[in-house]
Amino acid sequence: MGRRPVAAGRDRPGRRLIVFSVERVEDGVSTVVYRVRTDDATYYLRVGERPGDDLRTDAELHSRLAAAGVPVPAVLHTQFDVGLDRWVALTTEVLGAPLSRAEDAPAVLEAAGRHLAVLNSIPVDGFGFIVRDGPGWPLRAEFPTHREFVVSHLPDPWPGRLTELFSPFELDVLEGLIAEQCGLDVVPALAHGDLDVTPVFVQDGVFTGFIDFGEARGAEPWFDLAHFLLHDGERLPAPLLPHLLRGYGVAPSQRVLRRSAVLLGLRQVCRWSGPLRNLPADHPMVLDRVRRLRELMV
């Protein structure tokens, strides 16, 4: 027997919305999302990735971020759908589109950096992906220690299949970076978890907000900056991180950001080549990530 629907909010009580279209959003999100167009607005319907993912956790997160002044979609309603065996959440729209024009980047990313600094200051209980088990604060994450987060998905025993991708010298460098990162005394903080230019929205050259918190996690406070560095240059040719850092304010050194970026990229490679996806060493996605890691290790 499924759980009964639970409402986290509703749009204009008593008003009946006329839905004109529902379409799957293919780009820019890490979870299943549908765009719902009505007679006077556009909404987004998000479907939980797993049966146990209680999206009331996300409603709590979005509410707290909005209260802190971070522009994010408002969660209007959450409900467990027995037929889908998933929680669903209805959110408002962030106006505009993902950042895609280099001429918009300086001002947009500086504004985004100011809000990202607020987001990254929010404490989380633990490291790794947020545990979506319902409302509650602070958010809980999957690993109690930073070390467990750093080595998650890495081969044990080391270096496993990584010998197919890196030279012995590179593996020694990576092992040293892992040891350095594990030795840090880190207080976990909220990370968007998938920050590049895609979830940064802009309208008429003005930053309008962040979307897609499907990979939110507890991590080192500079995790999002490192993730942005890892992906910098993929969609727009010029380096964009300096603009984000200008708005962010106080940030760690380039060495610290590069180390964090290399290790999160390494975890990606290990997940892709691991049992769940089992991508071969010569898969284009794997090769491209390894190429980027080599650039950052120089």
Q: Is the pTM of this model over 0.85?
A: yes
Tens of pLDDT along 119-136? 999 999 999 999 999 999
For residue range 171-212, list pLDDT tens digits in order.
Answer: 999 999 999 999 999 999 999 999 999 999 999 999 999 999
pLDDT, residue 209, reads: 98
Instruction: Tell whether the model's pLDDT for residue 220 goes beyond 90.
Output: yes
- 283, 272 in Cβ contact below 8 A? yes
**Matching residue, tokens 């270096």:** 159
Instruction: Look at residue 40 in the predicted model and tell me its pLDDT.
Output: 85
pLDDT, position 237? 86
In this predicted structure, the answer to whether residue 23 has a pLDDT above a threshold of 60 is yes
pLDDT of residue 30: 62
Helices within the chain (DSSP H only): 56-67, 105-119, 146-151, 168-182, 223-231, 241-248, 254-273, 284-297
For residue 11, is pLDDT > 70? no
Specify the pLDDT at position 298: 86
